[in-house]
Amino acid sequence: MSQQQDILRDAMRRLNLTRDAFSERLGVRRRALDTWLLPADSGESRAMPEMVGKFVAEILQREAHATASGADSRPLAQRIAAEGRPHLLSVAQFERDGLEDLFQVADVMQPIARRQKVTRVLEGAVLGSLFFEASTRTRVSFGAAFCRLGGTVCDTTGFTFSSMAKGESIYDTSRVMSGYVDALVVRHPEQGSVAEFARATNIPVINAGDGPGEHPSQAILDLYTIQREFSRMGKLVDGTHVAMVGDLKYGRTVHSLIRLLSLYRGLKFTLIAPPSLEMPAYLLDLVSRNGHVIEQTQSLEEGLRGADVVYATRIQKERFVGEEIEGYTPEFQVRKALVDTVCKPDTILMHPLPRDGRPGANDLSIDLNHDPRLAIFRQTDNGIPVRMALFAVLMGVEHQVARSMRDAGWRSPAHIGPDDADFDGLD
Ligand code: NCD
C-alpha cells in the first residue's frame, strides 16, 4: 500500500473516525485532509507532508498494539474461509476487521479500476464463470475484474447451453470445471446450490447469487460504496439510518446487505415492503439480536423520512410461484418529488440494479438521474475494485498488487459517464 489516499482512508476506517474527527486528531485543517484524499490526478490534490504520514503510522501502530491481544493475524483468506476453504458463499464469513482489510485491498485496486494502472498478478490464471440466471453487471464485472488482474475468463450462460440441460449434477459440473479453471463464479436459481458447487472442488468458488439466498459480493460493494460516500460527507456507518424498499422477501441483495450492516453499531433500519414481500423473520431476529432498531412500514413516505441511505430493490417477479403481489402500487416508486420532500440533502440513493424502467414498474424513478444523491453508478463502478480485491485475497496475491502496478498504456476518458463530472473532486 503506497498511495497516501489509501493510507488515510484505511486509518479512518480502522480508527472509526470521520474526516472532521481525524483531522482534529492529526492537528490539521479539514480542508488539508480533503486535498490529501483526492485522487493523485485531480487538480486539487496535494501531497501529505512526511511528518503527517509518520504520525498516522504511529497512531495506527499504537491502536494495533492496544487491540493486538484479540487480533487474528492469519491471512484474510484463512480468516474468512468457508469450511476451511477459500470460498465466498455468505456474508456470514465476515467480521468487521475482515471487511476493513478487504476494503483496504479494494482501495489499492482503484487506480487499476480507473484504468490509470495495470497489473498482471493473475497472469496465466483462468476464471470459470457459470451463470444459470440472467445477469449483466455481476457476470461482466467479475469477468472484467479477473481480466484487470491479468487473468482470462471462460464462461457459460443459462442452462440451455450447459450440460446441466442433459441432467448433469452440480457435483460433476463443479469437479469437471475445476480441472479447467482456477476459480469459479457461480449464479444459480436455487438457494444453497453454490455451496454445493463449493463442496465439490478445492478451487475458490464465489457465490454470485443463489436464488433468493445471498449475493455476498454485491453487499460488500454496497457497503464499500456507503463507506466511501459517507467518508466524503463526514459520516460514519455506526448509528446510521438505512431505509430498504421493495421486494425484501426474495431480494438476495438486501438479505446479504442487512447482515453485513448489522456488524456495525446502533443502526436504524426502516423496511418498506408490500404486505407479502417482507424481510424474512430469521433476518429480522438476527439484526435485532445485534442491537439494531428495525421498523417495518408500508408507507414509503414514513419509511424514507430522515434516512441516510435509501436502498431500493426490484420486485423479483421471476421468483413468484403462483403468488399474486398486492399493494405494490405507484406509491412505492422512489421518485424525485418524494425524495425532495422527505429525504435530506446528503441522503444517498442506492439500488443493486437492474431497475425496472418499464411503465408501471414502480422502481427507482429515472427522474432522479441527474440528482447527485443518486449513487447507483458509483455503486456499479465500485463493483470492479471490490471484486478484484475478492479474487486477489482468495487467490493469495493481494500483497503483490501494489508493487506490480505499471502505468496504463492507453488513454481513457477522465469521466466515464456523461454526468460524472458533477461528482468530480468529491472523492
Ligand atoms: C440483483 C440480483 O441479481 O440479485 N442484481 C445484481 O446482481 N446487481 C438484483 C435484481 O436482480 O433485482
Mean pLDDT, rounded, of the chain? 92
Contact by Cβ (8 Å): 352, 304? no
1 has a pLDDT exceeding 50: no
Q: Please enumerate in sequence order all residues whose Cβ is within 8 A of that of 312, keeping only pairs 6 or more positions apart, or say none.
A: 245, 246, 334, 349, 350, 351, 355, 363, 364
In the reported structure, the alpha carbon of residue 138 is separated from the centroid of ligand 1 by a whole-number distance in angstroms of: 8
Question: Of 36-45, 101-110, 170-179, 262-271, which range is least confident?
Answer: 36-45
Residue 423 pLDDT grade (very low, low, confident, very high; cuts 50, 70, 90): low
| Average pLDDT of the residues in 138-165 | 91
pLDDT at residue 318 in the model: 84
Question: Which tops the pLDDT comparison, 86 or 327?
Answer: 86
In the reported structure, the alpha carbon of residue 128 is separated from the centroid of ligand 1 by a whole-number distance in angstroms of: 20
**Ligand 1 atom nearest to 133, measured from its CA:** 3
Q: pLDDT tens-digit profile of 65-78?
A: 777 666 778 999 99
Ligand 1 neighbours by CB, cut-off 6 Å: 137-138, 209, 215, 218, 252-253, 314, 316, 352-353
d(CA 67, CA 55): 19
In the structure grid, which three cell numbers stand for residue 394, read together?
A: 482468495
Q: pLDDT tens-digit profile of 227-280?
A: 999 999 999 999 999 999 999 999 999 999 999 999 999 999 999 999 889 999
CATH number for region 217-316+325-378: 3.40.50.1370
42 has a pLDDT exceeding 90: no
Q: Please list the residue range(s) of the chain that carry CATH number 3.40.50.1370.
A: 217-316+325-378
Please give the helix or strand (H or E) that residue 103 lies within, else none.
Answer: helix 96-113
User: Which of 132, 133, 138, 217 gets mutated to test ligand 1 (max ligand atoms within 8 A of its CB)?
Assistant: 138
pLDDT at residue 409 in the model: 95
426 has a pLDDT exceeding 60: no
Alpha helices in 350-421 (DSSP H): 376-394, 401-404
In the reported structure, the alpha carbon of residue 224 is separated from the centroid of ligand 1 by a whole-number distance in angstroms of: 17
Identify the residue whose C-alpha is closest to ligand 1 atom 1.
352
* Gyration radius from the chain CA atoms: 21
